[in-house]
A and B are shown apart, each in its own frame.
Chain A
Amino acid sequence: MKVKLKNVFVVYFLVSVIGLMYALLQLGQPCDCSQHLRSASDLMHGKDKKISQLLSEVKRLQVRGKGPELEGQALPIIYAITPTYARLVQKAELVRMSQTFLHVKNFHWIVVEDSPVKTQLVSELLAQSGLRFTHLHTETPKEQKLKESDPNWLKPRGVEQRNLALQWLRENRELSEEGVVYFADDDNTYSLRLFDEIRSTKRVSVWPVGLVGGLRFERPLVEKGRVVGFYTAWKPNRPFPMDMAGFAIALQLLLANREARFDMLAERGYLESSLLQSLVSIEELEPRADNCTKVRRGTGSQDSWVLSMVLGVQWIKWVRAGDQDSWVLG
């Protein structure tokens, strides 16, 4: 047949009519899309799984990536100094702490009892903990001891014990050894990330602390990577207005300054300053936890250990630095 235009149009017409009829017939028929959807969602699941697998790979490599640079010279040891005293919840607190510390590499726990002798409870607990530890003891002199009726903040606690631990370190460690000293009270909560952050301390590192000082958190103020002040509501004029667990000191700094210790007679809240002012100045502090924007440690007080005090609100102008975490509580 010759390719006449008329013929072609006829053919087109017929084909379109047939197609239209087919489409009209299809209309209103139940379409089995579920298979389609299911396979599509399967595809998404597969992709999700792949993504999370890759993410975990990345994180694992990141962690390992951080390791080797320190691994080369052996990971600096973290020495946690924990003063403790006998009371009902002592064992529970120490058990909880040991469970956290077991996750930390190259860790050495220095437990100092406020007692004339080493108690069996603590000795057994430490022996079974699986941790590297040093068990010391020294009794707080009677005049300095809190009476049952005293409020917790009346006299400084754990001073003699922490000083004894510092003395032990000075007698048993060399300047050549790399280490970091952290004062870990037995009623606090520590996140594992904290220990990663403090391991690289060169002099004194600082970070925010949650649930202390009558606030949701206290923290150093950081500008351009340097500490310029402190964000706290209680006695902000202290040389170092921070909590015992908000800083860590390089072992070498302590060994080099053999006289630095906590002052038993320090005014309330000045205990930390009494040690730090002979070691470092504010400009030399090393901020951690993303330039002090993340809270790594919370104070959960048990019965008689109250670490915060209500004394009135002093408002301080503060400057934010770095990025903030994006979560809202509750």
Chain B
Amino acid sequence: MLRRRNLLTTLLIVLPWALLLTLWHQYPATPRFNGTSPLREEGLPSCSWQQASGVAPKVIQNYVYSRPPPWSDTLPTIFIITPTYTRPVQKAELTRLANTFLHVQNLHWVVVEDSPRRTNLVSNLLEKAGLNFTHLNVESPQSLKMNGSRIPSHKPRGTLQRNLGLHWLRDSFNKTQPPEGVVYFADDDNTYSLELFEEMRYTRRVSVWPVAFAGGLRYESPIVSPAGKVVGWKVVFDPNRPFAIDMAGFAVSIRLILERPQATFKLEGIKGGYQESSLLKDLVTMDGLEPKAANCTKVLVWHTRTERPMLGNEGKHGFSDLRMEV
């Protein structure tokens, strides 16, 4: 009888310790992992980065209806920086652009919204499009804001957004090992032919070409000497600008952007038409320009403007359901 009691007591004594031990085994307070696995830095071939304060990068590969051509490791990348702002035609413009960009190989679209936070409209559009993209946002101060009511003036627009795009590029890539590629500022209401992207792809420093409907002309163009160097500008609007060219008329190589971190679009004291010069003068001189589009004899990009749609029937209080995304 004594033995059985001994056994029982021993069991009762050991039981809670055994329980404790098993619990401790399952939830160890002491760090048991060895070897840190740092957050992977996605390299160039990966698809999209979304950055806002504090959000870690997310890899999205969502091809729904159309795919861009497969990424090639040898082709230089084309980074397109598009500033955009909310207005009724925004979704239509971005859809059009996406349809165009889906044909271009090795294209990375950097969309920068003029808004305090990234809107669902743009996020959903970008995710569904299937392109490689980065979605950023920065709000312009009230004085520079593009309101629907403002007549398009010569005030520079999209400056902060383009600068943020450049800033992202400089953050994402190493100056000592720059990727092969080119940066192009594509506004969301222009029309781009597919040939244009292949012309700009192999830019060594800054390449230029004619732009239709810019500067009040059928087209504005650089003047190219028979030797193939840019010697002037065939423009009517202020031909004395250092670079009398439209935003859609030039592309800069990534290497150059990374080499000159202080080169950005200037905001203060920039007259209309001088925004492009404010960036280019820090990057290149006139004889460093490379003329493209068959020595600037072909028009491959049109500075089209989309007319504001007449929404007069909406009335003061709105008529159509606001929940429908347009």
Contacts and interface: CB of A to CB of B under 8 A. Distances in A.
Given A96-B191, A295-B324, A311 B313 contact: yes
B58 interface: yes
B319 A313 contact: yes
B121 A327 contact: yes
Contact of B311 (A189, A214, A312, A328): A214
A328 B123 CA distance: 12
B120 A327 contact: yes
A42 B218 CA distance: 55
A127 interface: no
A35 B312 CA distance: 59
B325 A103 contact: no
Contacts of A3: 6, 9-10
How many interface residues does chain A have, given as a range? 35 or more
Given A211-B88, A211-B92, A329-B86, A300 B323 contact: no
Interface stretch (B73-81, B239-247, B259-267, B301-309): B301-309
Contacts of B10: 3
Contact of B13 (A8, A193, A313): A8
A302 B307 contact: yes
B250 to A, nearest CB: 19
Contact of B102 (A103, A301, A306, A325): A103
Contact of B63 (A59, A233, A306): A59
Contacts, number: 198
A93 B320 CA distance: 28
B62 interface: yes
B225 interface: no
A92 B218 CA distance: 12
Interface string A196-219: 100000000000101111111111
How many interface residues does chain B have, given as a range? 35 or more
A79 interface: no
A191 interface: yes
Nearest to B62: A56
Given A96-B191, A325-B325, A216 B306 contact: no
B269 interface: no
B37 A89 contact: no
A191 B39 contact: no
B65 A63 contact: yes
Interface string B45-83: 000000000001011111111100000000000000000
B140 interface: no
A95 interface: yes
A303 to B, nearest CB: 7
A308 B6 contact: no
Interface in B158-201: 191, 193-194
Contacts of A191: 95
A298 interface: yes
B321 A214 contact: no
A218 B37 CA distance: 53
Given A210-B92, A302-B304, A302-B306, A99 B322 contact: no
Interface string A273-311: 000000000000000000001110011111100101111
Nearest to B115: A330
A99 B103 contact: yes
Contacts of A192: 65-66, 99
B191 A95 contact: yes
Interface stretch (A45-53, A140-148, A156-164): A45-53
A293 B326 CA distance: 11
Contacts of A36: 31, 33
B129 to A, nearest CB: 9
Given A103-B65, A306-B310, A295 B326 contact: yes
A32 B324 contact: no
Contact of A216 (B31, B61, B115, B324): B324
Given A3-B9, A39-B33, A210-B92, 13 more contacts: A41-B39, A52-B60, A52-B61, A96-B96, A103-B99, A189-B96, A233-B319, A293-B324, A300-B309, A308-B309, A326-B323, A327-B124, A329-B88
9 contacts: A38-B36, A52-B60, A95-B193, A96-B96, A99-B194, A214-B311, A298-B95, A313-B315, A324-B324
